[in-house]
Structure 1
Amino acid sequence: MIKDSKWNWPLGWINRVLELGNLSVPVLHNDVADKVIWKNNNGNEVDFSVGRVWKDTRECGSKVRWSKVVWFSQCVPSHAFILWLAMRDRMQTQDRMAKWCPATDFSCMSCDKQSDSMDHLFFRCEYSNYIWEEMKEYIEDKTIPNSWKDVKDWIIRKKSNNSAASVIQRLIVAACVYMIWKERNTRLFSKTQMPKEKVRDKIIEVVKIRFIRLRFKDGDEYNKVKKKWNIV
């Protein structure tokens, strides 16, 4: 990059980043090894790392209340991503698509009674409602509401920590959202369908397998969860 004590930037770089032409040329010492340095947002020169560059250049928003509901060390990444979309109301449900295609007659792929929406899919539709009611037994709280807004409020109010009960609750919510959304898309694009009982069983299976692989502090709460899920 430096030739005859002058910058020798590629022409494409100069055209894209005009500030390169204003940088002072450092004095090079042949007896000193080259070192990559990054100047952070505070103006301090630090050792270069991809992590530091990402942290300084990314757009930072305010922390949301549900961050630990979605992202925690014991989560299933694919489930967490779909739940993240759901928590942000960014899933391409039919009520959103209807705004782009108002002449199209949309109907829920599971019940065929109305167009799907966040509130319908999670968990007003008779198909997803059956699954959610069944999984409430494993959360051991039958008072949990069935509308998506109220479900979000409920899970946000719950403690998000590393206890067995907290982890299993968040795993169940994420698995329900993921599996129901996956089944909806399978019906839409592949024209195949799975009975609601089988989707329920798959949710139980994936949550149980994930839970078995985790480690928790032994105690009454952990033993209660193991008994509920028939984990030896």
Structure 2
Amino acid sequence: MLTGSSLWGKWIRAKLLKGRSFWEVNVRMQTGSWMWHKMLKLRSVAKLFYKVEVGNGRHISFWYDNWSRQGVLMDLLGARGIIDMGVGKNATVEDAVLYGRRRRRHRLSILNDIEDELAIIRSNSSLEEVDRSLWRRDSGYKLEFSTQETWQILRDKKPLCNWAQGIWFTQATPKFAFMAWLSVRDRMSTMDRVVKWSRGSNDMCVLCYNAPESRNHLFFECDISAEVWEFIAKGLLRQDFTVDWSEIISIISDKAREKKSLLCTRYAFQAVLYALWRERNKLKHGKKMMPLPVLKKVIEKGIRNRITLVQKKGGRGMEMLMQFWFQTRM
């Protein structure tokens, strides 16, 4: 593997590789930093993104670098290939071209294919040509490495969630948004989920004890949570007001809605979720829940304070947002 002419690359070659290829170094070697060992462990992934273009072949490992059309020769032929090809384990492509034993025919077709490649390099080789590292990109192998494109190729891609912007918006409070995200994915420890791993548990709603507690019941089919949600959101949503979970998620994900209304609705939704879950957990652990009138005022005050903070940072547009919020409370 080409390590470049940087000081770090030179130090790696001198102190850690010591004439060996990066691809053959034992991952359990004692020398090197934790970062070096992390790099060694990721070589199987890096191999999928790296190959070299032969120039003079001086800095390309014959056995360990991906220079051949066949692939990495050590992976294909193993140690036996060293004997069959007559090329030393630490040889470069230049060594194989200049000092390898005279070309001969082999029983295995893959060995003959490699000999043909060496013959082509031998006839085209030039001392002035430099070896070049190539990196896998969306459009093929290129000279420039792209972190972004490499990540996009590596990452486990999932369909885009239409609700994502309704949860992860700029003005959100991080702890509110995280809890809303868990709720949308139905990963909260509601009683319908608890009973699956704790047999004998009571699955009734902790707030109202009128129905089994699920995500959809708690937000906002439960009489208590519905009352809080109505107090906060009825003025915002007006004729669109609903306590149905899927409809609420559809509303906060609707980019076509008026911006001020959408922002206030998104933040109010998350604030109510967080406050109700906090009060629900108080009851679950034997504490008293905050009186409903007080809880409503606390949530409203929190939303108002957040909008005020956003207004100070955002200027005139956010001042209009504050006016809009107060109009909904009248």
User: Same fold by TM (over 0.5)?
Assistant: yes
Instruction: Please tell me the residue identity of whatever aligns with 1:130.
Output: E
**Is 1:171 aligned to 2:267, yes or no?**
yes
Q: What SS does structure 2 have at the residue aligned with 1:213?
A: helix
Question: What is the Cα-based RMSD across aligned positions, in Å?
Answer: 3.6
Secondary structure of the corresponding residue to residue 11 of structure 1: coil
User: Which consecutive residues of structure 1, in runs of 5 or more, have no partner in the other structure?
Assistant: 27-36
8 Å contact 1:164–1:216 — kept in the other structure?
no
**2:155 is equivalent to residue 139 of structure 1:** no
CA shift, 1:226, in A, is 5.0
* Cα distance, 1:150 vs structure 2: 2.6
Task: Choose which of 318, 324, 329 in structure 2 pairs with 1:225.
Answer: 324
Go from structure 1 to structure 2 and tell me whether the alpha carbon gap of 1:197 and 1:58 turns closer, same or farther (over 3 Å shift).
farther
- CA distances 1:181-227 after superposition (whole Å, capped 9, x unpaired): 22222322363422222322222122212211222654996464154
Q: Separation in 1 of the partners of 2:319 and 2:309?
A: 19
Q: 2:168 aligns with which of 64, 71, 79?
A: 71
**Partners of 1:213 and 1:112 in 2: how far apart?**
38
Contact 2:190/2:214 (CA < 8 Å) preserved in 1? yes
Equivalent of 2:214 in 109, 112, 117: 117
Distance (Å, rounded) in 1 between the aligned partners of 2:293 and 2:145: 55
Q: Which residue of 2 aligns with 1:31?
A: none
For 1:23 and 1:68, how far apart are their aligned partners in 2? 44
Q: Distance in 2 between matches of 1:135 and 1:44?
A: 55
Measure the CA separation in 1 of the matches of 2:327 and 2:237: 9
Which of the residues 91, 98, 103 maps onto 2:188? 91
**8 Å Cα contact 1:139/1:169 also seen in 2:** yes
**CA 1:73–1:218 in 2, change beyond 3 Å: closer, same or farther?**
closer
Equivalent in the alignment of 2:284 = 188
Structure 2 unaligned blocks of 5 or more: 1-11, 29-36, 48-62, 67-89, 93-132
Question: 1:165 offset after TM fit, Å?
Answer: 2.1
Q: Deviations over 1:90-127 (max 9, x none)?
A: 22211122233343222222112233111211111121
TM-score of the two chains, using structure 2 as the length reference: 0.55
1:89 aligned partner, one-letter code: D
Residue number in structure 2 paired with 1:213: 309
Instruction: State the alpha-carbon separation in 2 of the partners of residues 169 and 70 from structure 1.
Output: 11
Q: Displacement, 1:16?
A: 4.7
Q: Is 2:21–2:64's contact at 8 Å kept on the other side of the alignment?
A: no
Per-residue deviation, 1:135: 0.8
Aligned to 1:155: 252
TM normalised by structure 1 equals 0.74
Is contact 1:165-1:221 (8 Å) kept? no
Q: CA deviation at 1:154?
A: 3.1
1:5 aligned residue: 19
By relative contact order (CA 8 Å, sep 6+), the higher-ranking structure is 1
Do the aligned partners of residues 94 and 226 (structure 1) sit closer, same or farther apart at CA in structure 2, a change above 3 Å counting?
closer
Shift of 1:41: 5.2
Helix, strand or coil at the partner of 1:141: helix
* Cα distance in 2 between the residues matched to 1:115 and 1:126: 13
Letter in 1 for 2:158: G
Deviating more after overlay: 120-129 vs 139-148: 139-148
Q: Distance in 1 between matches of 2:150 and 2:217?
A: 42
Give the superposition deviation at 1:228. Answer: 2.5
Letter in 2 for 1:11: V
CA contact (8 A) 2:205 2:212 kept: yes
CA–CA separation in structure 1 for the residues paired with 2:154 and 2:191:
35
